[in-house]
Chains A and B, each alone.
Chain A
């Protein structure tokens, strides 16, 4: 794979122009600094802020409560809104903090994003995350944490005996026994750091194995 920088000429087939590219005078150019995916003709960014898309699963944090909305930080330049009517029961604005209070973290789905980047969320259950730990990594590394066809995330769940939820916005929730959670977070940070190397899944498998052996030896 090849690194490209903004302005690099990628192709003259404008119909294939994908994400991270732009079209000018009948040619496709890279618009971001990242790795070129020749098959899809898109550029995978190596950095940048999380931009919400409809359907993304994210971990949000309540930062304020207004008359009919929870205002949610989703680790993006834009704050998101969770409307009171998303709750299955009819609840009153002054009771909102009983369901989700300021500072609570919870799993949500992006319901809609409009042209001015007004973000609306929806939730399956109004349950704030009360146990486990949350880490924050760059959202550009999330595809590596999940792996091709979920290979990496399945490996982590199986080997580490933890419950892991990966938000598209770069927040990861890990729930399990203390030392398992420690190892899981260590592994996730390792994935973030080495996300651009080849054969990462095997590397991670070895890393977990040695860490477990050391733990047994103690």
Chain B
């Protein structure tokens, strides 16, 4: 690509006009799919993703089931039209890896021993991608899990931090990811326990510490959005 800008940060503002510690605009909607037990649609800037949760349900194939706890399957998939150049449909190396780390980001909060011999299936479909799709997938599926009535210790929130033009920034865009120095997606519970941490690029020890603090702030904001999305599904609840 040759759309490399000279500067990614000018006068403390980024190319899309955001401050260094600002998230892209978020939209979240719960219960968008009728067939799924729980679902959530999320937009984060140029990212659009939909998450569907099925289960707990019987495990097929049978040999995968575990006698004492529920197993969790997570499938991350990018639509062929989600990126500029057509993406060949189906799982590839990248989406299999993302599925694995996303599953492991959500698994620790699910109270698995409640549903022995069963499975929870999570499907994430990326409709439009602009850097940070795995974080969007985790945020949406975490809400979809709650919507499906699955018992959890808490909600998982996720966002990316990175280094662009020597500055630590929150929630990188596609351009910033491509021409920046580091990209670090993080997922955490609301009490700050980290369940996903990946990094691409280089950070010094001090930068890393600052990046983690910034990610915590970002996740807190996302948590508030997730919370209000869930609450607004049953607006006007007044009695049992």
Residues of A within 8 A of B (CB): 1, 3, 5-7, 20, 22, 24, 29, 31-35, 37, 44-49, 51, 77-79, 115-117, 140, 196-199
| Chain B residue at minimal CB-CB distance from A143 | B240
B46 — which chain A residues lie within 8 A by C-beta? none
- What chain B residues lie within 8 Å of A24 (beta carbons)? 153
B95 CB to nearest A CB, Å: 27
Task: Verify B148–A48 contact, CB threshold 8 A.
Answer: yes
Q: Among A7, A34, A197, which residue has its beta carbon within 8 angstroms of that of B239?
A: A197
A5 touching B111 in the complex, CB below 8 Å, given contacts A29-B153, A32-B151, A116-B116: no
CB <8 Å contact, A37 and B155? no
Verify B149–A1 contact, CB threshold 8 A: no
- Additional 10 contacts, C-beta under 8 A, given A47-B147, A48-B149, A196-B239: A1-B239, A5-B231, A6-B146, A7-B189, A22-B111, A49-B37, A77-B57, A78-B117, A117-B117, A196-B237
Q: How large is the interface on B (under 10, 10 to 19, 20 to 34, 35 or more residues)?
A: 35 or more
CA–CA, A37 and B231, complex, Å: 16
* Contact across chains for A44 and B111 when beta carbons are under 8 A apart: no
Asked if A115 and B116 sit within 8 Å, CB to CB, the answer is yes
Q: What A residues does B190 contact at CB under 8 A?
A: 7
Residues of B within 8 A of A (CB): 37-38, 55-58, 67-68, 109, 111, 114-118, 146-155, 189-191, 226-227, 230-231, 234, 236-240
How near does chain B come to A213, taking the closest CB pair, in angstroms? 28
Contacts of A6 in B (CB 8 A): 109, 146, 151-155
Q: Are A77 and B115 in contact (CB under 8 A)?
A: yes
Bound Cα distance from A78 to B234, whole angstroms? 29
Contacts of A22 in B (CB 8 A): 111, 151, 153
Contact B237 A1 (CB under 8 A): yes
**Complex-state Cα separation, A7 to B156, whole angstroms:** 10
List A contacts of B117 (CB < 8 A).
78, 116-117
24 A/B residue pairs, CB under 8 Å, sorted by A: A3-B230, A5-B155, A5-B230, A6-B109, A6-B151, A6-B153, A6-B155, A7-B152, A7-B190, A32-B146, A32-B152, A33-B147, A34-B149, A35-B237, A37-B240, A47-B38, A48-B150, A49-B55, A49-B57, A51-B114, A77-B115, A78-B118, A116-B68, A198-B238
Expressed in whole angstroms, the minimum distance between the Cβ of B106 and any Cβ of chain A is: 12
| The residue from A7, A45, A51, A77 contacting B154, defined by CB atoms under 8 A apart | A7
Q: In the complex, what distance in Å separates the CA atom of A199 from the CA atom of B190?
A: 36
Chain A interface, >50% SS class: loop
User: Bound state CA distance, A49 and B115, in angstroms?
Assistant: 10
Chain B residues with Cβ under 8 A from A116's Cβ?
A: 67-68, 116-117
Among A20, A22, A79, A140: residue with most chain B CB under 10 A: A22
Task: Kindly list chain A residues whose C-beta atoms are within 8 Å of the C-beta of B153.
Answer: 6-7, 22, 24, 29, 31
Chain B residues with Cβ below 8 Å from A29 are: 153-154
- The reply to whether B234 and A47 form a contact with Cβ atoms under 8 Å apart is no
Min C-beta distance of A75 to chain B, whole Å: 11
Q: How far is the CA of A188 from the CA of B44 in the complex (A)?
A: 39
Q: Residue on B with the closest CB to A138? A: B149
Inside 8 A of A3's CB, which chain B residues have their CB?
Answer: 230-231, 234, 237
Which of the residues A77, A140, A197 comes within 8 Å of B118, measured between beta carbons?
A: A77
- Using known A-B contacts A6-B153, A6-B155, A140-B149, determine if residue A44 contacts B240 with beta carbons closer than 8 Å: yes
The distance in angstroms between the C-alpha atoms of A24 and B154, with both chains bound, is 12
